[in-house]
Structure 1
Amino acid sequence: MKYTQLGRTGLKVSRLVLGTMNFGPQTDESTSHGIMDAALDAGLNFLDTANVYGWGENKGRTEEIIGTWFAQGGGRRDKVVLATKVYGNMAGDGDAWPNHDKLSAVNIRRAVDASLKRLQTDYIDIYQLHHIDRATPFEEIWQAIEVLVQQGKILYAGSSNFPGYKIAQANEIAARRCGTIGLVSEQCLYNLAERRAEMEVIPAAQDYGLGVIPWSPLHGGLLGGVLKKEATQGRRASGRAADALKDTKTREQIQAYENLLDKHGLEPGEVALAWLLTRPGVTGPIVGPRTQAQLDSALRALQLELSEEMLSTLDEIFPGPGPSPEAFAW
Structure 2
Amino acid sequence: MEYTQLGRTGLKVSRLVLGTMNFGPVTDEADSHTIMDAALGAGVNLFDTANVYGWGENKGRTEEILGSWFAQGGDRREKVVLATKVYGNMAGDGVPWPNQDKLSALNIRRAVEGSLKRLGTDYIDLYQFHHIDRTTPWDEIWQAVDVLIQQGKILYAGSSNFAGWNIAQANEAARRRSSYGLVSEQCLYNLAERRAEMEVIPAAQAYGLGVIPWSPLHGGLLGGVIRKEREGGAKRGVSGRSADALKNAKQREQIQAYEDLVDKHGVQPGDVALGWLLTRPGVTGPIVGPRTTEQLDSALRAVELELSDELLASLDEIFPGPGPSPEAFAW
Which stretches in structure 1 are left out of the alignment for 5+ residues? none
Distance (whole Å) between structure 2 residues aligned to residue 50 and residue 44 of structure 1: 18
Distance (whole Å) between structure 1 residues aligned to residue 288 and residue 6 of structure 2: 17
> Percent identity among equivalent residues?
81
For 1:133-144, what aligned pairs fall within 5 Å after superposition?
A: 133-144=133-144
Preserved CA contact (<8 Å) 1:273 1:298: yes
Q: How many residues get paired?
A: 329
Preserved CA contact (<8 Å) 2:220 2:237: no
Q: What residue identity is the alignment partner of 2:30?
A: S
Aligned to 1:194: 193
Q: What residue identity is the alignment partner of 1:322?
A: G
TM-score by length of 2: 0.98
Aligned to 2:283: 282
After superposing on structure 2, the runs of 4+ consecutive aligned residues of structure 1 that deviate more than 2 Å are 93-96
Aligned to 1:132: 132
- Provide Cα deviations, 1:19-76, integer angstroms capped at 9, x if missing partner: 0000001100000000000000001000000000001111100000000000000000
- 2:211 is paired with a residue whose SS is strand
Q: What residue identity is the alignment partner of 1:199?
A: M
Distance (whole Å) between structure 1 residues aligned to residue 296 and residue 210 of structure 2: 23
1:205 pairs with 2:204:
yes
Aligned to 2:320: 319
Distance (whole Å) between structure 2 residues aligned to residue 139 and residue 247 of structure 1: 45
Deviation, 1:95, is 3.1
Q: What residue identity is the alignment partner of 2:193?
A: E
Distance (whole Å) between structure 2 residues aligned to residue 323 and residue 58 of structure 1: 42
For 1:301-312, what aligned pairs fall within 5 Å after superposition?
A: 301-312=302-313
Distance (whole Å) between structure 1 residues aligned to residue 282 and residue 94 of structure 2: 42
Distance (whole Å) between structure 2 residues aligned to residue 236 and residue 42 of structure 1: 27
Distance (whole Å) between structure 2 residues aligned to residue 236 and residue 150 of structure 1: 47
Deviation, 1:236, is 4.7
Preserved CA contact (<8 Å) 1:89 1:96: no
1:184 pairs with 2:183:
yes
Aligned to 2:116: 116
- 2:252 is paired with a residue whose SS is helix
Q: What residue identity is the alignment partner of 1:230?
A: E
Deviation, 1:96, is 3.7
Q: What residue identity is the alignment partner of 1:228?
A: R
Preserved CA contact (<8 Å) 1:5 1:12: yes
Distance (whole Å) between structure 2 residues aligned to residue 128 and residue 242 of structure 1: 31
TM-score by length of 1: 0.99
Distance (whole Å) between structure 1 residues aligned to residue 245 and residue 142 of structure 2: 38
Aligned to 1:328: 329
Deviation, 1:328, is 2.0
Deviation, 1:322, is 1.3
Distance (whole Å) between structure 1 residues aligned to residue 94 and residue 243 of structure 2: 33
- 1:187 is paired with a residue whose SS is strand
Preserved CA contact (<8 Å) 2:54 2:62: yes
Distance (whole Å) between structure 1 residues aligned to residue 26 and residue 57 of structure 2: 15
Distance (whole Å) between structure 2 residues aligned to residue 298 and residue 96 of structure 1: 40
Which stretches in structure 2 are left out of the alignment for 5+ residues? none
Aligned to 2:218: 219
